[in-house]
Amino acid sequence: MSTPLSHAYIISSADTQLREEKSLELSMGLLCEKGGSSPCMKCSQCKNALGGTNPDLITISRKTDDKGRQRRELLVDQIREMSSDSWVRPQAADKKVYIISDADTMNQAAQNAALKLLEEPAAYAVFILLVSSAAALLPTVRSRCVEINLRGEEKREENPLAREYIALAEKGDRAGLCSFCSHCEELSSQELSELLISIQIRLCDIIAFREKSSLNRASAFRLSSLCRLSQEYLRMNVGAKHILGLICVQTIETP
């Protein structure tokens, strides 16, 4: 991904999941200790971002009202809060990244507060605005941001093996998992690594309640660490067969 460096981005797509994935990838690239144009997926910044535990990656989303329904707008107070938080230096990374979900639901007041922030941000702060359509944002806000339009990528296939793995884990299907893992032995280590990343992205969605799943959060966290451990083994040149054996045995908890 060769996105120009900026302190503010707009990611637009009608596909909520796609824009969230893209923002995670972009944030990891910004926070990554290796500092390349794409995330290394190995350093603690990348891993924590994937696991949803990076203190320097903050997501702002619409609040719920007292009946538990999501509000229609992002509130100006939330933008002000983010603004003052952005003056607190990052905890561990060189940057502090804010993802603003549904930024197109900011009303005029919220957008004006955002504009003020984008005009004079803290040097280390980066803001990523996620929208269905950038047209809903004030031209002055847009002019401060690098726009990434994902139209055309929306039909991108997600890794079908990742979907299959999650489905097997949800069902607790040991036999199915065994044959899945032996089938995966044919993958190259690059392909296996990509599969593990796709699984982690899906787990992230489950952890963040962006995706419905019968896996509870604790299981999703456990599987996410299993993926991380597997990635580590893969880097240490442990054979795919052994790693898949580990995944086969440890995915489904014994009651």
Q: Which residues bind Zn ion (CB under 5 A)?
A: 32, 40, 43, 46
Residue 13 contacts residue 154 (beta carbons within 8 Å): yes
Q: Least CB distance from residue 42 to Zn ion, whole Å?
A: 6
Q: What DSSP state is assigned to residue 196?
A: H
Helix (H, G, I), strand (E, B) or coil at 129: strand
Q: Minimal CA–CA distance to 56: which of 89, 11, 101?
A: 89
| C-beta closer to Zn ion: residue 40 or 138 | 40
Q: Least CB distance from residue 242 to Zn ion, whole Å?
A: 25
Element (H, E) at 180: helix 174-184
Distance CA 79, CA 223 (A): 34
Q: Least CB distance from residue 204 to Zn ion, whole Å?
A: 15
Residue partners of 189: CB distance under 8 A and separation at least 6: 234, 240
Q: Least CB distance from residue 4 to Zn ion, whole Å?
A: 20
Q: Least CB distance from residue 225 to Zn ion, whole Å?
A: 17
List the structure tokens of 72.
Answer: 């229609």
| C-beta closer to Zn ion: residue 43 or 246 | 43
Q: Least CB distance from residue 9 to Zn ion, whole Å?
A: 19
| C-beta closer to Zn ion: residue 42 or 80 | 42
Residue partners of 57: CB distance under 8 A and separation at least 6: 27, 31, 48, 49, 97, 99
| C-beta closer to Zn ion: residue 46 or 220 | 46
| C-beta closer to Zn ion: residue 43 or 150 | 43
Q: Least CB distance from residue 43 to Zn ion, whole Å?
A: 3
Q: What DSSP state is assigned to residue 158?
A: P
Distance CA 45, CA 39 (A): 9
| C-beta closer to Zn ion: residue 34 or 171 | 34
Bridge partners, residue 3, by sequence: none
Q: Minimal CA–CA distance to 228: which of 46, 57, 92?
A: 46
| C-beta closer to Zn ion: residue 43 or 138 | 43
